[in-house]
Amino acid sequence: MQSLWNDTEAATFGTDPLGQRVYTSRLLGRNPALVLHGGGNTSVKVTEKDYFGDEVEICHVKGSGWDLATIERAGFAPVRMDALLKMARLPAMSDEDMVLQQRAAMTHPNAPAASIEAILHAILPFRFVDHSHANAISALTCAADGEARVRELYGDRVLIVPYVMPGFILAKTVADLINGRDLRKEGIQGMVLLKHGLFTFDDDARRSYELHIEMVTQAEDYLAKRAGATAADVPVPAPELMALAKLRQTVSKTRGFPQIARLSASPAALAYASLPQVADCATRGPLTPDHSIRTKRVPVVLGADHAASVQQFSADYAAYFQRHADGQTMLDPAPRYAVWPGQGIVSFGDTLKDARIVADLAEATAATVTLAERTGGWQPLSEKDIFDIEYWDLEQAKLRKGPARKVHQGKVALVTGCAAGIGFAIAESLAEQGAQVVGLDIDKEIPEIMAKIGAIGLVVNLTEDQPVQDTIDFAVREFGGIDIVVSNAGIFPKNDPLDTMAQPDWDRTIAINLTSHQKLMNKVIPYVKQGVDASIIFVGSRNFKAPGPGASAYSCSKAALTQLCRVAALELAPHKIRVNIVHPDAVFDTKLWTPEALLKSAQRYGMTVEEYKTKNLMKVEIRSKDIGNMVAAMASPLFAKVTGAQIPVDGGNDRVI
């Protein structure tokens, strides 16, 4: 592991202690082998003047909810040292009192809550304190001879602390350990918490950080020598997509909400999933205790019957809870990731971000456990210790801070023809309501267009079989399945009477407005059957009921599309898949309707443009977003018991009514 310190970069953060603290904290946070997603904490002790000009000793400690990789000055909680040191001298202190008193001792009421390790940082007699959950330290200490390894490697340079509960108990343990000692004279430069992590400290920011890098590197080198030759890479298999979709559906039902599922076939994931003893070593415990709030204590290791494996995991989790519960309410029993022998690791999450966080933690665990198994065996904390962390209210509070759940959160939506107009509005509405959207269009700018709403855009000609299959496979491979399909792609050909219409115009209209939808259904329905609260929505037109002269190709294609919807509703109802169609009319905020085209059409009816745009019974303008919101509603629980419906969004049309 290399030091990332750069003098020029460091200077941009300021030369004051807090500025240097921000910089070295970010250096730690940049390295996923040290900390992941909010892990670790850092501090700096300074003397500052308060509002009244009195000098106050302050410990600026990482604030709860901040990530070391992106932390700023505002991310550090300023806590009075005298209060923290008084707390350390108390014989006992509840978690609630600790949090309350740390908050009361802060010099800035709007700063984030201080880390639960603030007292520990305060009692260490050095200006800068760095703490990480380095993978190498876990591999080194999560072994039967972990303490002996630490002594062999670091000698008297570090304090060795047996695992105890983080927070006040850990602070008291360390306070007792260092009571009456002069750590500087003894040459103590760090502290190893067995089965937990590493602390380093110094009065210089760079020195404290580089001590951290040095000690982790020592652990890495030590383990590499004991591991010997690296195992050969496992060939990357073709993903079993239907099995992945079924697994996601099972886990989603167990969790009670739709889940994004991410399959990783990285070298670390495949090596882990290919270990002959993976069912044993994967179920001993997490890489570091605080991971359990996101990953649970262990993953599910899949057998031949994935549903049975998840069911057994849930039963085992309930038993684990019963063994250790003391008045807590059990969390849901669904796994947060799965070890899939021969395929890799599948990570689950309410959102893509959540699934990626779990994936990062799972892959770090995989690499570390694989290394530990090759260097003496993986022996993490007991399940009781992990339970205490998983159900520790201070840790659960981190998860409760998240925003309210959105209507389509965790769902995967496939939307066609969404580069502009109605299709874009549909994709946007679904994304706003939490769905992970994959947008398909022949427009080559669709990737950039979808990126504006946080969606994925794929260029595809929907009349071609293999490209359509490839896009469906992509959505399943990336997100685990498909729950919502909005079949919207279409064209409006030029108006020609039947006796003068060119045959290619008719054929092209039918191919795009009808046959492409049938091709999509043929390929996507098998995956939708494995979806969660699955729904298919077609976008039709008022013309199916009220055609106009010269619009035979368009009107017939939309009428046939409506019939396709009705048949699909009949076929898929036994699978609890809802199939409905929306019929828009007079939606003028699209690329098709230029100001010139609107004016020309309005004049043909003897109307102003505004009169023309509201020439429905309710005299209201219909916008693309109205269609988008309707489609999002049709895919939601509001329409849970509606299928085969044809819903006009047109402000009322006397010819239709």
Residue 45, H or E segment: strand 41-49
- Domain boundaries in the chain? 7-227, 241-400, 412-587+623-649, 591-621
- Give the CA distances from residue 577 to residues 224, 296, 411, 430, 533, in Å, rounded to whole numbers and listed in that order: 53, 32, 14, 18, 7
- What pLDDT, in 10s, does the model give residues 192-244? 999 999 999 999 999 999 999 999 999 999 999 998 866 567 788 888 999 99
Specify whether the CB–CB gap between 575 and 535 falls below 8 A: no
Residue 31 has pLDDT above 80, yes or no: yes
Region for 177 from its dihedrals, namely left if φ exceeds 0, alpha if ψ lies in -120 to 50, beta otherwise: alpha
Q: Span 573-587, mean pLDDT?
A: 96
Q: Tell me, what's the pLDDT at 108?
A: 92
The residue behind tokens 């996507």 is: 524
* Structure token digits, residue 404: 């309210």
Helices within 179-305 (DSSP H only): 183-186, 205-227, 241-255, 267-273, 278-281, 292-295
Specify whether the CB–CB gap between 192 and 132 falls below 8 A: no
- Give the CA distances from residue 12 to residues 30, 76, 119, 186, 237, in Å, rounded to whole numbers and listed in that order: 17, 18, 30, 35, 46
Using CA atoms of 617, 618, 619, 622 in order, give the dihedral in degrees to the nearest 10: -100
Interior/surface letters 205-234, b for 16+ CB within 10 angstroms, e for the rest: bbbbbbbbbbbbebbbebbeeebeeeeeeb
CA distance 458 to 522: 19
DSSP 8-class letter at 114: B
288-292, 545-549, 563-567, 593-597: which is most confident:
563-567
Give the Cα-Cα-Cα angle 505, 508, 509 (nearest 5 degrees): 85
Give φ, ψ of 134 to 5 degrees: -55, 135
CA distance 101 to 83: 8
Sequence-ordered list of residues with C-beta below 8 angstroms from that of 329, at least 6 positions apart, any chain: none
Report the SS3 class of residue 107.
coil
CA distance 436 to 98: 40
Q: Which of 45-54, 227-236, 339-348 has the lowest mean pLDDT?
A: 227-236
Q: Span 406-428, mean pLDDT?
A: 97
Residue 538, H or E segment: strand 535-539
Residue 116 has pLDDT above 70, yes or no: yes
Q: Tell me, what's the pLDDT at 521?
A: 98
Counting DSSP H helices and E strands in the chain, the numbers are: 27, 18
- Among residues 528, 434, 516, which one has the least CA distance to residue 475? 528
Same fold, 7-227 and 412-587+623-649: no
Q: Span 35-56, mean pLDDT?
A: 92
* Structure token digits, residue 329: 């309410």
Specify whether the CB–CB gap between 422 and 584 falls below 8 A: yes
CA distance 172 to 635: 54
Residue 528 has pLDDT above 90, yes or no: yes
* Structure token digits, residue 526: 């098998």
Which residues are the active-site residues?
554
> 60 has which bridge partners?
44, 78
CA distance 299 to 265: 16
Specify whether the CB–CB gap between 63 and 112 falls below 8 A: yes
Specify whether the CB–CB gap between 551 and 544 falls below 8 A: no
Q: For the whole prediction, is pTM greater than 0.95?
A: no
- What pLDDT, in 10s, does the model give residues 354-382? 999 999 999 999 999 999 998 988 999 99
CA distance 393 to 242: 38
* Structure token digits, residue 164: 């105890």
Amino acid at site 90: L
User: How would residue 399 be classed by pLDDT, with cut points 50, 70 and 90?
Assistant: low
CA distance 609 to 396: 57
Domain 241-400 top-level CATH class: alpha beta
The residue behind tokens 């994931």 is: 269
User: How would residue 22 be classed by pLDDT, with cut points 50, 70 and 90?
Assistant: very high
Helices within 256-287 (DSSP H only): 267-273, 278-281
Specify whether the CB–CB gap between 208 and 126 falls below 8 A: yes
Q: Tell me, what's the pLDDT at 349?
A: 97
Q: Tell me, what's the pLDDT at 224?
A: 93
Residue 547 has pLDDT above 70, yes or no: yes
Residue 389 has pLDDT above 80, yes or no: yes
Domain 7-227 top-level CATH class: alpha beta
Q: Span 432-447, mean pLDDT?
A: 97
- Among residues 417, 434, 378, 375, which one has the least CA distance to residue 632? 434
- Among residues 48, 81, 45, 82, which one has the least CA distance to residue 60? 45
Architecture of domain 412-587+623-649: 3-Layer(aba) Sandwich (3.40)
Percent of the chain with pLDDT over 70: 98
What is 407-432 written as a DSSP string? TTTT-EEEEES-SSHHHHHHHHHHHH
Q: Span 370-398, mean pLDDT?
A: 88
Amino acid at site 41: N
- What pLDDT, in 10s, does the model give residues 464-473? 999 999 999 9
DSSP 8-class letter at 590: S
User: How would residue 395 be classed by pLDDT, with cut points 50, 70 and 90?
Assistant: confident
Specify whether the CB–CB gap between 375 and 226 falls below 8 A: yes
CA-derived radius of gyration, the chain: 30
The residue behind tokens 């031949």 is: 304
Q: Tell me, what's the pLDDT at 426?
A: 98
Q: Span 29-54, mean pLDDT?
A: 93
Helices within 401-515 (DSSP H only): 421-432, 446-451, 465-479, 503-510
